[in-house]
Amino acid sequence: MSTDRQLPPTVGTTEEYGASPFEQWAEWARVDDVVRITGEEGDRYLVTHPELVEEVVFGDGPFAKTEGIQQQFGRGLVAEHGEQWRAQRGAMQPAFIPDRIESYAETIGEIVADTVDTIDDGAVLDLRELFAEFTMEVMVETLFGGSGDDEAIRTAVDRLNEWFLQQNTGGETPESVVSERDRAMKRLVGMIDEMIADRRGGDGDDFLSMLLSVGPDSDANYTDGRIREEVIAMLFAAHETTALTLTYTLYLLSGAPEVADRLHEETQSVLDGRPPGPEHLDELSYTERVIDEALRLYPPLHALARRPTAEVELDGYTIPEDGVMYLSQYVIHRDERWWDEPTAFRPERFAAVDDRPRFAFFPFGAGPRRCLGEDFARTEAKLAVAGLTQQFSFEQLTETFQLRIGGTALPDRPLELRAHGRE
């Protein structure tokens, strides 16, 4: 071992996260681009420079996913490593090719139209509720051929988030949080097993049928157990992230009428009174910027978590084996070094060519493990935002909120707005 081994500066403890952990992170990040946070459950290392993110995600360093992720998602793609990960990624890829996304976009457009129809002029909308339901329906219809128990999935997502919240804020996790998570997961597993049994030997072409047809006699080794874990991991990767993206986008729009008006102009000219569908996607460029700006300010997956399986060097510091690293989108996306007036909601900033480092913006992750569902999520978000702003303007009812660190970055209260029908 080298003699000049130097740990990153210690800035605080996990117990000090307090009521607004993200602000605390941003403050600690001012000390250096890698800092150390001590905690009973082990030290964590906050990494907040885009080039260091690049070094970790593309490097040959021995970086694994954290135990929390592996514990929850078992042999799912999001938790796997090495050759096994590569084989699974290859096996899942066909569900996300452009032709597939285009056919999903048809279905998503219909779900957007149905959702818009349920909203009355003057209705008060709880954004998380609205979009949890919407994204669930999209997922069930596009990836699972229209079957699945929405309630079982949503409860499991909520309980698991609660558990992640406890894990991330340090201290002991209450027994009730663990048992509720386990109960909800059991119900979810029961549902998936039924779906597997339904499809076995059939000629369906949904995501689950696709994994069954790859099967155990392949490099991906899709046994029923692995398929079950893959489906669970996928539900979590796809659902809450997209629902939160839409929640924060609409929340920001409701506080920025001039952005909402400009967006409305785009939807009027592109959609020309029709419901949004695949044929409109390329032209909805301002819509895309609005979504990017929401993802910058409120990245649903707020940090990539990595665990070195051996001691590594980063920025001249030593990170010990098993020291959990957080590559923080939240902090980097709001860093004045890369963003003017970082807290301002200004979608226009994505219009200009810029000289920011490559990973000053990485809401979908970075490197080989970048989000597999990015095109899917972008398609879904664009169609939903376009469909809603085509018909409504939004009045903000919840003015402020705090972010909580769960598995995702969650608002600490319902975010509400009033929808006003546009003439």
Q: Which of 81, 86, 89, 418 binds ligand HEM (CB under 6 A)?
A: 89
Q: Which of 22, 364, 392, 394 binds ligand HEM (CB under 6 A)?
A: 364
Q: Which of 8, 68, 276, 300 binds ligand HEM (CB under 6 A)?
A: 300
Q: By CB under 6 A, which span of 101-109, 188-196, 372-380, 397-405 interacts with ligand HEM?
A: 372-380
Cβ contact 228:235 at 8 Å: no
Q: Which parts of 18-77 interact with ligand HEM (CB under 6 A)?
A: 77
Residue 21 to residue 23: CA distance in whole angstroms: 6
Q: By CB under 6 A, which span of 33-41, 110-118, 268-276, 298-306 interacts with ligand HEM?
A: 298-306
Task: Note the maximum CA span of the chain.
Answer: 72
Residue whose token pair is 């993802």:
295
Name the active-site residue from 48, 66, 115, 241: 241
* Residue 364 falls in the annotated catalytic set: yes
Sequence letter at residue 239: H
State which residue has the least CB distance to ligand HEM.
373
Least Å distance, CB 314 to ligand HEM, is 17
Count residues binding ligand HEM (CB under 6 A).
21
Least Å distance, CB 265 to ligand HEM, is 25
Select from 299, 68, 78, 56 the least CA-distant residue to 165.
68
Q: By CB under 6 A, which span of 105-113, 219-227, 270-278, 359-367 interacts with ligand HEM?
A: 359-367
Least Å distance, CB 64 to ligand HEM, is 11
* Exposure letters 258-272 (e unless 16+ CB within 10 A, then b): ebbebbbebbeebbe
* Residue 371 falls in the annotated catalytic set: yes
- Does 132 bind ligand HEM (CB under 6 A)? Our answer is no
Residue 195 to residue 295: CA distance in whole angstroms: 33
Cβ contact 112:131 at 8 Å: no
Calculate the alpha carbon distances from 200 to 33, 87, 176, 214, 232 in Å: 50, 22, 36, 12, 18
Calculate the alpha carbon distances from 163 to 24, 148, 170 in Å: 21, 23, 11
Name the active-site residue from 371, 392, 394, 408: 371
Q: Which of 47, 270, 324, 371 binds ligand HEM (CB under 6 A)?
A: 371
Q: Which parts of 199-238 interact with ligand HEM (CB under 6 A)?
A: 234, 237-238
Residue 211 to residue 220: CA distance in whole angstroms: 9
Locate 279 and state its tokens: 């044929």
Residue whose token pair is 């032709």:
99
Residue whose token pair is 């590594």:
312
Least Å distance, CB 77 to ligand HEM, is 5
Name the active-site residue from 364, 376, 392, 394: 364
Q: Which parts of 242-271 interact with ligand HEM (CB under 6 A)?
A: 242, 245
Hey, how many other C-beta atoms are within 10 angstroms of the C-beta on 249? 29
Which residues here bind ligand HEM, judged by CB under 6 A? 77-78, 89, 234, 237-238, 241-242, 245, 300-301, 304, 363-365, 369, 371-373, 376-377
Query: Which residues are marked as active site?
Result: 241, 364, 371
